[in-house]
Structure 1
């Protein structure tokens, strides 16, 4: 490492999540074993969304057939601010002496902002970068990412109390004969949830055909659409599933209050980012024989961060037990998102299942992502491996007992 024995970013308050409008403060620490010449020491605050993917396209045929690779990308700068803390424009000193040096920083996040998100096609990323600008040599960099979570209050969306449903039907043909239809209808108890809750599923598959329905299932799907400058790409990922029984020919199966658990997930996002949209839906399927296309019914979902307080689960708790935004240190209470108002007619009563306090967790199956980008080099230090964190209410399934 040479002269530079320590170069890192420390936050004054180690928090899992920040909200739009919060202030981030900390220190850039530099430890030198001998004096170092430099132009400046700089701290940059960056919020950026970026998408990139490649596709192979073939043209012509035979000997004239050609395959080309096309790159699609787009970048949205959410914010960017750089400040010098030593050298140029500050004290005009071109040398930093040997020893331990601490440079404090503070930055207020703008509002609104989309929630942090990472995958292999795109990201919504927030980070702080420290740079030692060395003329005629490679710069030294250190980075640290942090999670920003946009508060999506389900209480402010009137439609999420309404059930979401769908249906599908088809006839199967066997040789020259057409049998009776296979019909499917499903609905959820509502259309707005927070991670940790359970989606209640009800529905019926009626099989009037001469063939067996091999199985039934319901999956919670995350659909992410990436918008490049000249093309869009949509990727669907199953994030939760429950399986149901087969349906015999001329028989039926009824789903009654089946529970689909919602793991830690980023909230729905279609408002604050131009190039990444995140939506959710539950897909019900009747799985048919190999040569037939399955029946499918999609039910749109909104995944929020603040739960519906009109639900019995929360309405029957005492006011201090009703979750609003995740708990924050007292010093940050003034910058936390306001709690949703209590619904009219709120009447606290004794309840055997206290609502869980909100916490944070990485999305299920979420891997750590390398946050180095094209502006970084081999001298980049710091925490370059990162997982965003999301709100999660750790309900015990026994609390979701329905008559």
Structure 2
């Protein structure tokens, strides 16, 4: 069986992230050491989204195709993903085809300066009673507040939270977390997965006592911008979550402050001065933070892309995310 010595897709502009409307140009390189009998050579350019999960004995799945174009040039968080790729194939009659794939990252540019209310404070509150009905305890109440709604990766979020424990049970510990909230949708079902991407642990709270957590700092990790435009099967949001870890068997108290993660920061705000309004800056930079890069759109842990559906697509590249280093003066992608 003849195998090509080199078979790869090379893009001319060497971009690592594309925006809608960008041109994608390149060439296909094929080198053979001996003659190969083939029907044709194809290049496929495609974009798609896919979600799947199990609940008990039932499985739910949905897919959405954004576009798919195949040109003859000669003769996917494990629940779901959004993926754009170029795939070339040598079609050989009665033999196994040779394939090569180049993954593209396509992000919408999200300019926080063009959105409303990004500088306004945001917060949330929640409460719960242990036990239920006639034996319900006195409430456990929590609230969390941050200075504004809009951030970019690399910025520092300054969080203030408080807890009022009116119950007779101890709150074992508290935490303030940066979370990603992903909703997956099929025609018959919807599910939501919450993933913690950054965390600061807090102290416990005794029964009938209170607790204040002031000026807790969270760094926005290297993540994709909020929202998934034109995708109907997967939607992504971010929030700061204040959690009270309760006794075993009880559902923890969670309080959310929703935020928007963009790609272009607010004018006149420095990432390390988020609580006070900051100072003017020039062109923040990115830096390599591969430990916090998400391997797929569905999950945000380090590693290679998951590919549960298209097993013939060999994907080993880590994704690249924008990250602002507020101590530098130039801007690149990490």
TM category, shorter: 0.7 to 0.9
Describe the SS at the equivalent of 1:289. Answer: coil
Describe the SS at the equivalent of 1:36. Answer: coil
Matches within 5 A, 1:91-130: 118-130=76-88
Matches within 5 A, 1:223-372: 223-290=181-248, 292-311=250-269, 316-317=279-280, 321=282, 323=283, 356-359=284-287, 362-363=293-294, 365-371=301-307
Max Rg structure: 1
Task: Give the Å deviation of 1:284.
Answer: 1.1
Q: Distance in 2 between matches of 1:211 and 1:74?
A: 43
Describe the SS at the equivalent of 1:37. Answer: coil
Partner of 2:104: 146
Partner of 2:68: 80
Q: Distance in 1 between matches of 2:152 and 2:83?
A: 22
Contact 1:42 1:82 in 2 (8 A): yes
Task: Give the Å deviation of 1:46.
Answer: 1.0
Mean CA deviation greater in 361-370 or 29-38 = 361-370
Seen in structure 2, the aligned counterparts of structure 1 residues 245 and 138 have a Cα distance that, compared at 3 Å, is same
1:40-90 C-alpha deviation (Å, 9 max, x unpaired): 211111111112234443xxxxxxxxxxxx442222111211212221xxx
Partner of 1:7: 7
Contact 1:217 1:241 in 2 (8 A): yes
2:38 paired with 1:38: yes
Seen in structure 2, the aligned counterparts of structure 1 residues 375 and 80 have a Cα distance that, compared at 3 Å, is farther
TM-score (norm: length of structure 2): 0.83
Contact 1:48 1:75 in 2 (8 A): yes
Mean CA deviation greater in 286-295 or 131-140 = 286-295
TM-score (norm: length of structure 1): 0.69
Contact 2:240 2:259 in 1 (8 A): yes
Partner of 1:349: none
RMSD: 2.8
Tell me the matched-pair count.
Answer: 313
Seen in structure 2, the aligned counterparts of structure 1 residues 85 and 166 have a Cα distance that, compared at 3 Å, is same
Gapped runs of 5+ residues in structure 2? 295-299, 328-334
Task: Give the Å deviation of 1:282.
Answer: 1.8
Contact 1:207 1:249 in 2 (8 A): yes
Task: Give the Å deviation of 1:291.
Answer: 5.4
Seen in structure 2, the aligned counterparts of structure 1 residues 298 and 196 have a Cα distance that, compared at 3 Å, is same
Q: Distance in 1 between matches of 2:81 and 2:141?
A: 40
Contact 2:3 2:98 in 1 (8 A): no
Contact 1:48 1:125 in 2 (8 A): yes
Q: Distance in 1 between matches of 2:167 and 2:310?
A: 58
Contact 1:146 1:388 in 2 (8 A): no
Describe the SS at the equivalent of 2:322. Answer: strand
Describe the SS at the equivalent of 1:184. Answer: strand
Q: Distance in 2 between matches of 1:3 and 1:195?
A: 43
Task: Give the Å deviation of 1:286.
Answer: 2.4
Describe the SS at the equivalent of 1:13. Answer: coil
Gapped runs of 5+ residues in structure 1? 58-69, 88-117, 324-355, 397-403
1:116-150 C-alpha deviation (Å, 9 max, x unpaired): xx531111111111111223333221111121121
Q: Distance in 2 between matches of 1:304 and 1:188?
A: 17
Mean CA deviation greater in 385-394 or 201-210 = 201-210
2:307 paired with 1:391: no
Task: Give the Å deviation of 1:359.
Answer: 5.0
Q: Distance in 2 between matches of 1:204 and 1:194?
A: 26
Q: Distance in 2 between matches of 1:210 and 1:216?
A: 17
1:273-296 C-alpha deviation (Å, 9 max, x unpaired): 111111112221223333544332
Q: Distance in 1 between matches of 2:195 and 2:163?
A: 25
Seen in structure 2, the aligned counterparts of structure 1 residues 139 and 256 have a Cα distance that, compared at 3 Å, is same
